[in-house]
Amino acid sequence: MAAISAIPDCIGVEILVDFYHFRLEEGMYLGRVMGRVVCTQKDPQMHGLKMLIVTAIDDDGAAIGQPFVACDSTDAGNGETVFLCGGSEASLPFVKQRPPSDATILGIVDLIEK
Amino acid sequence: MNLGKVVRKVVSTIKNNAFHARPLLLVQPLDIHFQPSGTSVLCIDFMGSDLGEIVLMMKEGSSVQQMLNNKQAPADAAIVGIVDSVDFKGKTIFCKSAPADAGAGG
């Protein structure tokens, strides 16, 4: 949260922070799969990829912010807890393709221990 | 990536060379209930999307540069897909072939 409060107060930035408030902090994060999106017409590099609707979750599994769309590299299913990465690294996990992606599911979480 | 609705087409003649022959569209980001969320974003269109269509918008600079085949391209938002259907919590909440608010057409 320190990074967010350091940003000067102006309307445009406020909206940006609200939209991305969990992603401003760098690193991978946890999410939960809520649904899926189907596109026939899409970038050729995205052919054969599953696109899922994911909500970021906090330590206790409560949803944070708005759901968004992420590419899936793990064959995750509905309701599963997953971990994701953002940024330019999001197009790297795929073997034969480099899809344009800003969020990709990297793994399925089995257990979170307290 | 986020869902968005194409609200405007933007035409520009004098622009950076990286944008040459690429349509620019103003896209309104939508939340999962298809309500507007935040301010609209200017996106490069790679799909030939039309006004009013629900699209997948991607906001990541290096992926846009890769799609443009130009590592110096000053762009960070693109339309990467046209959405056919959306399933959320086990229900189909959007299907392109049966628009919910199409009105009484002939």
DSSP 8-state code for residue A20: H
Q: Would residue A66 count as lying in a domain? A: yes
> Do the chains contact at A43 and B67, CB–CB below 8 Å?
yes
Q: Across all residues in chain A, what is the average pLDDT?
A: 81
Whether the CB of A10 is below 8 Å from some CB of chain B: the reply is no
Q: Would residue A19 count as lying in a domain? A: no
Q: Could you list the residue range(s) of the whole structural domain that residue A49 is in?
A: 27-108
Which residues of chain B, if any, have pLDDT below 70?
A: 98-106
pLDDT given at position B78? 94
> Do the chains contact at A38 and B86, CB–CB below 8 Å?
yes
CATH of the domain at A64: 2.40.50.220
Q: Assess whether pLDDT exceeds 80 at residue A17.
A: no
Q: Would residue A2 count as lying in a domain? A: no
> Do the chains contact at B31 and A12, CB–CB below 8 Å?
no
Nearest to B67, CA basis, from B46, B47, B52: B46
Q: Which two tokens stand for residue A32?
A: 């939960």
Phi-psi sector, B89: left (phi>0), alpha (psi -120 to 50), beta: left
CB B7 within 8 A of CB B27: yes
pLDDT given at position A112? 85
Q: Would residue A101 count as lying in a domain? A: yes
For each of the domains in chain B, give its residue range(s) and CATH number, in order of start: 2-95 (2.40.50.220)
Count of alpha carbons within 13 angstroms of residue A84, beta-carbon side:
31
Whether the CB of A76 is below 8 Å from some CB of chain B: the reply is no
End-to-end Cα spacing for chain A: 22
Q: Would residue A37 count as lying in a domain? A: yes
pLDDT given at position B101? 56
The interface predicted TM-score (ipTM) is 0.71
Q: Sort strands B41-45 and B78-88 into parallel, antiparallel or unpaired.
A: parallel
Domains in chain A, number: 1
pLDDT given at position A9? 52
> Is residue A99 helix, strand or coil?
coil
> Do the chains contact at B56 and A37, CB–CB below 8 Å?
yes
pLDDT given at position A24? 45
